[in-house]
Chains A and B, each alone.
Chain A
Amino acid sequence: MSDESTELLDSVETPGGAEIPVNAEIPLSKALNAGLRKALGDDKRVLLMGEDIGPLGGVFRVTEGLQAEFGSSRVFDTPLAESGIVGTAIGLAMRGYRPVCEIQFDGFIFPAFDQITTQLAKMTNRHEGQVQMPVVIRVPYGGHIGAVEHHQESPEAYFAHTPGLRVVSPSTPNDAYWMIQEAIASNDPVMFFEPKSRYWNKGPVDLSSSAVPLHSSRVVRTGTEVTLVGHGAMVTVLLQAAELAAAEGTSVEVIDLRSISPIDYSPIIESVQKTGRLVVASEAPGFVSVSSEIAATVTERAFYSLEAPVLRVAAFDAPFPPAKLETSYLPDADRVLDAVDRALAY
């Protein structure tokens, strides 16, 4: 987090201008709204661009009220073209702006894939550091909302696989509020994956403390026998699993990854040194995944601490199915517990 944004806020204002008292519980979507609002207010070069983000405030209302407050040259609806959104954001960044692009749903990031992977990710490197790309791409992602095709996917591994991109995903309103501002402050492109099933979940936003570093992972529940790691909406599932495990007498530690690229391994390695067992869970398919990467790295770095192989709990390596089947496709707390049991059985 840059210095100026660590200054304390007295309150978060809702788009309507009404004030939320310090530490009030607000939904994740509103926390993002507040974070974006703060960033827009702090730096005139910050722009919000995307489809339906202006008068409508985005299909998830994350940008609600921001066009009215900051004007349509700061917060604007683009023509309907994701490649166009990201491609022009690159040009705007070259011109000194700090664009924050909204992609409407995970499945619609792909028309922009070329601009993101061949251009945005490499621009700083090609200029040998002389041009920077402070572009944030916000992507609502993940399942659990019963939506139609292309609206429930978790494509973050494609971007984590691409050198030059930073990839993060908040799981709580507090992280959403702080991480979006840190992402905007970054001089590198940041893929900002928002767990859309968590948009409506409320939590406190702690305005009195400054943000933790964007790329740090965090222990969200302490335990001694098995370590669970995940990000985004999966953190909720892991906490449920930990609760169930506790009822059965098993002590589980849960780590919220928060950052997918780079990955902050210290808390994970420390945890594994304590528990000796690691289960990595994701809504994304497991093949060539973020989970695979973590499994490999932890095996390399903490081999002698491991009492069991690192296990992955993932969606199946099949396309996201029709919504009525999503609960069988996505890992739930029971499937996580099944892995916990298998890890303990070694």
Chain B
Amino acid sequence: MAEAAPTVQLLSPDGVLQSDATAEQYRPYIDALSDEQLRQFHRDMVVTRRFDLEATNLQRQGQLALWPPSHGQEAAQVGSARAMRHQDHVFPSYREHAVAMIRGVDVVDIVRLMRGVTHGGWNPAERGNFHLYTLVLGSQALHAAGYAMGITFDGIATGDPETDEAVVVYFGDGATSQGDVSEALVFAASFQAPQVFFLQNNHWAISVPVSVQSRTPLYLRAGGFGIPGIQIDGNDVLASYAVTRKNLDEARAGDGPRMIEALTYRIGAHTTSDDPTKYRLSHELESWIARDPIVRYEAWLRSRGEGDAFFAETATEAEDFAADLRKRTLELTVPSTDRIFDHVYSESHPVMDGQKQWLADYEASLGAEG
């Protein structure tokens, strides 16, 4: 069995910078950040929480088919996303809204997906290399491994972290049970691909607790694949940033894949279709609310002298972001039925052409009758 290592935590739940040996090891990554960068982490988290709430409300008002909230997981997502370099590629699951926003995806595009007007629709190359959301659990882990293998095969790394590429895949504790995730770990290790497996262990896969998926801390599983694994306090944005930064830079430098398990919690429902009171206890939820990532970070920023003005400004920015999201959501239109047939193949296809024509004629005939 792999050796257990301490969970990396740089900020305690009450917002005090830690000074144990593990924390000290990651301190230089934090010390290198400017005040503005540190403020940005807060902005990212606050804006994410606010638009997440807005999207949840939009769903309740019948505007979206579904919304999977990221509430509670902001630190894990913001820290890891801010640790990436611009050339990195991201293969998400379906809850990585903060990562998407930070990489340059228009949040309305995620809303479009959840509204049922697209299955994806953005071009990763124009959106910070943030690939499409993947709903079939674990599939994206292999895509990420393949992409990372391709980076290795290209052989263009120069040793400069500013240009050398790496890949991050996001997945949940439930998804770790999928064969695809294990296979991805095997492939990434076999080809020593520059890939970081970023696992958000939010403790629940819908109604199933993580104990059903694993009897060992999940980061220790990586060791069995020959991949270094590390566990972090996923509600600590500084730990998420520093540990991801270090591991990504090691991966891009040719040291092989890495796995990070971020311990966090899904504060909300699995999706707006779910009722978590059916299966989980309120005291567990409360204990995690007490470890809120935003509260903790705000306390630390204040202890460093950040004043009310910044926090008020951020709150306003979040309100504006949410209002804009709502406005643009309500403006979304239903795509034309051509969308059914377009892009099924990359080139013109006789069956698609024929059926598209049939539907057009059919709809015209209905119009004529009506």
Contact B278 A55 (CB under 8 A): yes
Quick check: is B339 within 8 A (CB to CB) of the other chain?
yes
Please give, as numbers and ranges, the residues of chain A lying within 8 Å of B335 by CB-CB distance. 322, 324-325
Q: Give residues in B with beta carbon < 8 Å to A.
A: 65-66, 113-119, 135-137, 174-180, 205-208, 212-213, 273-274, 278-279, 334-335, 337, 339-341, 344, 351-352, 355, 359, 362-363, 366
Given the complex, which residues of A lie within 8 Å of B351, measured CB to CB?
287, 317
Complex Cα spacing A245 to B107, Å:
46
27 residue pairs from A and B, CB less than 8 Å apart: A51-B206, A51-B208, A52-B206, A52-B207, A52-B208, A55-B207, A55-B279, A77-B208, A77-B212, A80-B176, A80-B177, A80-B213, A83-B179, A84-B177, A111-B178, A146-B116, A148-B116, A149-B119, A150-B135, A150-B136, A287-B351, A317-B351, A321-B119, A321-B340, A322-B113, A322-B116, A323-B65
Closest 6 interchain pairs by CB?
A323-B116, A56-B207, A79-B177, A80-B174, A80-B177, A81-B177
B340, A329: Cβ atoms under 8 Å?
yes
A59 interface residue, CB < 8 Å from B?
yes
In the complex, the chain A residue whose C-beta lies closest to that of B178 is A81
Cα separation A335 to B355 with both chains bound (whole Å): 14
B-chain residues with CB within 8 Å of residue A56 when the two chains form the complex? 206-207, 278-279
CB interface residues, A 142-169, toward B, < 8 Å: 146-151
Measured CB to CB, the nearest residue on chain B to A82 is B178
From A324, A326, A335, residue with most partner B Cβ within 10 Å: A324
Chain B residues with Cβ under 8 A from A325's Cβ?
A: 334-335, 337, 339-340
Q: Which residues of chain B have C-beta atoms less than 8 A from A77's C-beta?
A: 207-208, 212
Which of B118, B175, B273 has the largest count of A CB atoms less than 10 A from its CB? B118
**Which residue, of B137, B180, B274, B335, has the highest number of chain A Cβ atoms within 10 A?**
B137
Smallest CB gap from A328: residue in B: B337
B366 near A110 (CB under 8 angstroms)?
A: no
CB neighbours (8 Å) of B175 from chain A are 80
Q: Tell me how far the C-beta of A88 lies from the nearest C-beta in chain B, rounded to whole angstroms.
A: 12
**Residue numbers in B under 8 Å from A80 (CB-CB):** 137, 174-178, 205, 208, 213
Q: Does any Cβ of B come within 8 Å of A338's Cβ?
A: yes
Which residues of chain A are within 8 angstroms of B116 by Cβ–Cβ distance? 146-148, 322-324, 326
What sequence of 0s and 1s flags, for each residue 123-152 of chain A, a beta carbon within 8 Å of any chain B beta carbon?
Answer: 000000000000000000000001111110
Q: How far is B228's CA from A341's CA once the two chains are assembled, in angstroms?
A: 66
Nearest Cβ in chain A — how far from B129, in angstroms? Answer: 21
CB of A78 closer than 8 Å to a CB of B: yes
B65 and A148 contacting across the interface, CB-CB below 8 Å: yes
Q: Are B340 and A148 closer than 8 Å at their CB atoms?
A: no
